[in-house]
């Protein structure tokens, strides 16, 4: 199951700092991230649009 | 200042920091500040927040005046930043409360900050209700307003909400209520506080205001942890202000913020200011040598346009402008038009660098103007026209 989750392009990720949920279906329009962008494919310098934390602060949402 | 009974059995304690000018190391508090905390005397005596550590003596004195020999049963920590939790460890040690209530992120922060092992901490996620006798306290998490641990504490019986940093102002006064002070000054200081502290979290402010509406919370008293408290109609007024701040609708106003070596950049910027003013735009002209970045930010936050100016210095920009832009970017202002101006001697990277900052802040960029050596009338005309063009862009946006 774990492997399936990691490869699921629609897997949502949640910011452990502030609780913001990155939803690939929506992308992050404010940072010019188009809908359909997998979390893994976000640029390394992408940060949480709410609290500014980096990608390392995100974990897959259950 | 002595404790003030703000409602029967509910006291403002707090400390008035008359001499404070540096707020948290990054922002100016020209009028000082206050650290408000509150005590509810009910079946369970409940302390809401504490004060900065240096006012531990004041806090003990205030508590003694209200409580005599009664003990503190509960402590509520709405936010763990040291101006509100500075006396928390001492309170726990001296008064040994039965429970300390905080948000889920608050517990995390409390563990990391105070490294406690045996504090009686209880987590209060949104919706948690706590009876303290005649009164109930209910908690609403406000993550990132303005730290991950922030929360509000609402008392339905009193229609009163303790909002911690939200609705605060840096203003040391002998008065406690917003209706006792000059309204214009209050509004100015409230906006200044918002622009420098709450601004990046505007989406959370909008969400919180919507939640308060959805939950149908009746609010007749707002108790922030800095500055004046609001009662009666002032509560709706404060919430309307916050709604407007968070929406960041631009005003017919431009801020020109710059630094200059030999006044060439300054003169070019001034020509732009004339162009803007002649089109009826209100202009703030702010040199970084004379203005603190937090005062500039207070003007930027409701402006429609920001023009940044610097000459080229060592293939970069002047350090005071780098300070300003770093600070501004961190506060994430929205809905702005941006433009750059700068003079240079031999290499002229300034406008390119400044423009990159504006783009990084998602501003709607109007191409900047740079000039080598001393600007002449032709350059000033160009800058003046640029000011008019930015004014037109502002009008189209409003």
Residue A3 in this model has a pLDDT that exceeds 90: no
User: Looking at the partner chain, which of B148, B201, B362 has a beta carbon nearest the beta carbon of A17?
Assistant: B148
DSSP string, B307-323: EEE---BTTB--HHHHH
- In the predicted model, is pLDDT for residue A51 greater than 90? no
Report CA B179 to chain centroid distance, whole Å. Answer: 21
Contact A19 B201 (CB under 8 A): no
All residues of chain B having their beta carbon less than 8 Å from the beta carbon of residue A52 are: 200
Beta bridge partners of B208: none
Q: Say yes or no to pLDDT of A6 above 60.
A: no
User: Catalytic residue among B73, B83, B225, B299, which?
Assistant: B83
Rounded distance between C-alpha atoms, residue B211 and residue A41, angstroms = 33
* Cβ contacts of B148 on chain A, cutoff 8 Å: 17-18, 51
pLDDT value at residue A19: 85
- Mean pLDDT of chain A, nearest integer: 88
Q: Do B144 and A50 touch (CB under 8 A)?
A: yes
Supply B126's token pair: 């949104």
Predicted-assembly ipTM surpassing the 0.85 threshold: no
Q: How many Å separate Cα B144 from the centre of its chain?
A: 12
B226 counts as catalytic:
yes
Nearest CA in chain A to B359: A31
Q: Provide DSSP, B327-361.
A: HHHHT---S-EEEEEEEESS---HHHHHHHHHHHT
* Residue of B144, B204, B207 to mutate for A, most A C-beta atoms under 10 A: B144
Interface test with B, best of A19, A28, A47 (most B CBs within 10 A): A19
Q: Quick check: is B83 catalytic? A: yes
Tens digit of each residue's pLDDT, chain B (398 residues): 999 999 999 999 999 999 999 999 999 999 999 999 999 999 999 999 999 999 999 999 999 999 998 999 999 999 999 999 999 999 999 999 999 999 999 999 999 999 999 999 999 999 999 999 999 999 999 999 999 999 999 999 999 999 999 999 999 999 999 999 999 999 999 999 999 999 999 999 999 999 999 999 999 999 999 999 999 999 999 999 999 999 999 999 999 999 999 999 999 999 999 999 999 999 999 999 999 999 999 999 999 999 999 999 999 999 999 999 999 999 999 999 999 999 999 999 999 999 999 999 999 999 999 999 999 999 999 999 999 999 999 999 99
The residue of A20, A51, A57 whose CB has the most chain B CBs within 10 angstroms, and thus the best one to mutate to test that interface, is: A51
Report residue A18's pLDDT band, with 50, 70 and 90 as the boundaries: confident
Residue of B nearest to A19 (CA): B143
Q: Residue A1: is its pLDDT beyond 70?
A: no
Q: What is the three-class DSSP state of B269?
A: helix
Residues on chain B bordering chain A, Cβ-to-Cβ distance under 8 angstroms: 143-144, 148, 200-201, 203-204, 362
Confirm whether B30 is a catalytic residue.
no
Q: Which residues in chain A have Cβ-Cβ distances shorter than 8 Å to B204? A: 50
Give the single-character DSSP code of B191: H
Task: Show residues of chain B in contact with A30, CB under 8 Å.
Answer: 362
Task: Dump pLDDT digits (tens) for B7-30.
Answer: 999 999 999 999 999 999 999 999
pLDDT digits (tens, 9 = 90+) for B65-108: 999 989 999 999 999 999 999 999 999 999 999 999 999 999 99
| Closest Cα in chain B, distance from residue A5 (Å) | 27
Q: How far, in Å, CA of B57 to CA of B64, rounded?
A: 11
Q: Are B170 and B196 in contact (CB under 8 A)?
A: no
Q: What is the pLDDT of residue A7?
A: 67
Tell how strand B251-258 and strand B303-309 pair up. Answer: parallel
Answer yes or no: do B203 and A17 touch at CB < 8 A: no
- Between CA B173 and CA B153 the distance in angstroms is 24
Q: Can you list the pairs that B30-34 forms with residues at least 24 positions away whose Cβ atoms lie under 8 Å?
A: B30/B170, B31/B170, B31/B171, B31/B172, B31/B189, B32/B170, B32/B171, B32/B172, B33/B170, B33/B171, B33/B172, B33/B226, B33/B227, B34/B171, B34/B172, B34/B173, B34/B226, B34/B227
Based on the residue annotation, tell me whether B79 is a catalytic residue of this protein: yes
Is B81 assigned a catalytic role?
yes
Nearest CA in chain A to B141: A18
CA neighbor of B350 nearest in space, from B383, B322, B378, B326: B322
| Residue A34 to chain B, least CA–CA distance (Å) | 16
């Amino acid at each position: 199951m774990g492997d399936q989750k990691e490869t699921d392009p629609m897997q949502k990720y949640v910011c452990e700092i502030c609780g913001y949920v990155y939803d690939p279906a929506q992308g992050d329009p404010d940072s010019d991230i188009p809908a359909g962008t997998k979390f893994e494919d976000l640029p390394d310098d992408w940060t949480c649009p709410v609290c500014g934390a980096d990608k390392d602060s995100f974990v897959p949402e259950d | 200042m002595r404790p003030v009974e703000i409602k029967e059995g509910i006291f403002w304690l707090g400390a008035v920091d008359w001499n404070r000018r540096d707020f948290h190391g990054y922002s100016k508090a020209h009028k000082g500040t206050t650290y408000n905390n509150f005590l509810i005397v009910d079946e369970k005596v409940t302390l809401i927040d504490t004060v900065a550590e240096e006012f531990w003596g004041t806090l003990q004195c205030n508590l003694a005046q209200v409580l005599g020999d009664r003990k503190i049963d509960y402590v509520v920590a709405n936010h763990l930043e040291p101006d509100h939790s500075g006396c928390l460890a001492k309170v726990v040690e001296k008064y040994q409360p039965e429970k300390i209530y905080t948000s889920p992120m608050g517990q995390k922060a409390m563990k990391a900050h105070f490294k406690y092992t045996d504090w009686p901490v209880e987590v209060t996620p949104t919706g948690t209700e706590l009876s303290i006798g005649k009164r109930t306290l209910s908690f609403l998490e406000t993550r990132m307003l303005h730290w991950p641990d922030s929360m509000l504490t609402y008392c339905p019986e009193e229609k009163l909400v303790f909002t911690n940093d939200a609705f605060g102002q840096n203003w040391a006064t002998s008065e406690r209520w917003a209706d006792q002070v000059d309204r214009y000054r209050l509004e100015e200081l409230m906006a200044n506080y918002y622009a420098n502290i709450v601004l990046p979290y505007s989406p959370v402010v909008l969400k919180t205001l919507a939640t308060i509406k959805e939950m149908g919370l009746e609010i007749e008293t707002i108790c922030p942890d800095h500055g004046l408290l609001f009662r009666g109609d002032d509560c709706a007024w404060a919430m309307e202000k916050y709604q407007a701040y968070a929406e960041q609708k631009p005003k017919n106003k431009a801020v020109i913020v710059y630094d200059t070596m030999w006044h060439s950049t300054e003169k070019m910027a001034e020509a732009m200011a004339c162009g803007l003013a002649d089109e009826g735009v209100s202009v703030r002209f702010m040199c970084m040598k004379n203005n603190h970045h937090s005062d500039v930010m207070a003007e930027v936050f409701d402006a429609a346009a920001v023009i940044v100016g610097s000459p080229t210095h060592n293939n970069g920009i002047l350090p005071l402008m780098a300070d300003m832009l770093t600070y501004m970017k961190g506060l994430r202002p929205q809905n702005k038009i941006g433009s750059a101006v700068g003079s240079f001697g031999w290499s002229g990277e300034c406008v390119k660098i400044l423009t990159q900052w504006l783009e990084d802040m998602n501003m709607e960029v109007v191409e900047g103007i740079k000039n080598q050596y001393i600007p002449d009338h032709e350059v000033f005309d160009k800058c003046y026209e640029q000011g008019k063009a930015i004014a037109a862009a502002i009008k189209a946006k409003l």
